[in-house]
């Protein structure tokens, strides 16, 4: 890569980062008391979290949720979630990593992958995807949710990494 090409890439990256920064909301620091959140899961108040009726395929699943914590920028959240028996489709609006605490669930993804998750299992679901959940008795999980970055910001990060990799291997300053 020529030095001039590298400069053009850096200018493009800077422009995209500036554009993306305007699209990201201003982050306000949370009070110091919210910088660490801990508590026993069995003491958290579970509130009703009804499943969209049109998503239910069979049974009468009843879901509840207790929000544990939320990131300072509101782009991440941790919650406990439980549900009684039933089968339903679920839309993941956020990226979600789950850890099953109790019970088991039979998952079928959009592309046909089938998997049973039980206590101790960890799974990841990409935001913007669907999966079918079949719970035979009861399920309790902890969910780690993160809003996906806006596409322009994702592209800017990837370009930055590409520039760093390219310049590092050729000895040019990043």
Q: What's phi and psi for 9, nearest 5 deg?
A: -65, -40
Q: What is the pLDDT of residue 74?
A: 85
Contact 81, 115 (CB under 8 A): no
Query: Is position 67 within any domain?
Result: yes
- 167 in a domain, yes or no? no
Is residue 22, in this structure, part of any structural domain at all? no
**51, part of any domain:** yes
Please tell me whether residue 90 adopts helix, strand or coil conformation: strand
Phi-psi region of 131 (alpha: psi -120 to 50; beta: other; left: phi over 0): beta
C-beta of residue 107 within 8 angstroms of C-beta of residue 89: no
Query: To the nearest 10°, the Cα dihedral for 121, 68, 149, 122?
Result: 0
Tens-level pLDDT at each residue, the chain (174 residues): 555 555 555 555 555 554 444 444 444 444 445 677 787 888 899 999 999 999 999 999 999 999 999 988 888 999 999 999 999 999 999 999 999 999 999 999 999 999 999 999 999 999 999 999 999 999 999 999 999 878 888 888 888 888 988 765 554 444
The CATH number of the domain holding residue 106 is 2.60.120.10
Q: Is residue 166 part of a domain?
A: no
Domain extent at residue 86: 47-146
Closest Cα partner for 42 from 74, 68, 69?
A: 68
Provide the whole-model pTM: 0.70
Residue 6 lies in a domain: no
What is the tally of structural domains in the chain?
1
């Amino acid at each position: 890569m020529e030095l001039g090409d590298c400069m053009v890439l850096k200018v493009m990256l800077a422009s995209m980062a500036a554009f993306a920064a305007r699209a990201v909301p201003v982050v306000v620091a949370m009070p110091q008391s919210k910088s660490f959140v801990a508590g026993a899961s069995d003491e958290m108040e579970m509130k009703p979290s009804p499943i969209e009726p049109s998503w239910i395929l069979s049974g009468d699943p009843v879901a509840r949720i207790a929000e544990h914590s939320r990131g300072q920028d509101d782009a991440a959240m941790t919650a406990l979630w439980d549900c009684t028996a039933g089968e339903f489709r679920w839309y993941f609006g956020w990226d979600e990593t789950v850890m099953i605490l109790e019970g088991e669930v039979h998952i079928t993804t959009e592309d046909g992958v089938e998997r049973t998750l039980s206590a101790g299992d960890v799974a990841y679901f990409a935001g913007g995807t669907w999966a079918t959940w079949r719970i035979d008795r009861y399920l309790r999980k902890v969910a780690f949710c993160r809003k996906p970055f806006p596409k322009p910001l994702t592209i800017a990060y990837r370009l930055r990494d590409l520039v760093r990799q390219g310049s590092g291997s050729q000895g040019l300053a990043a």
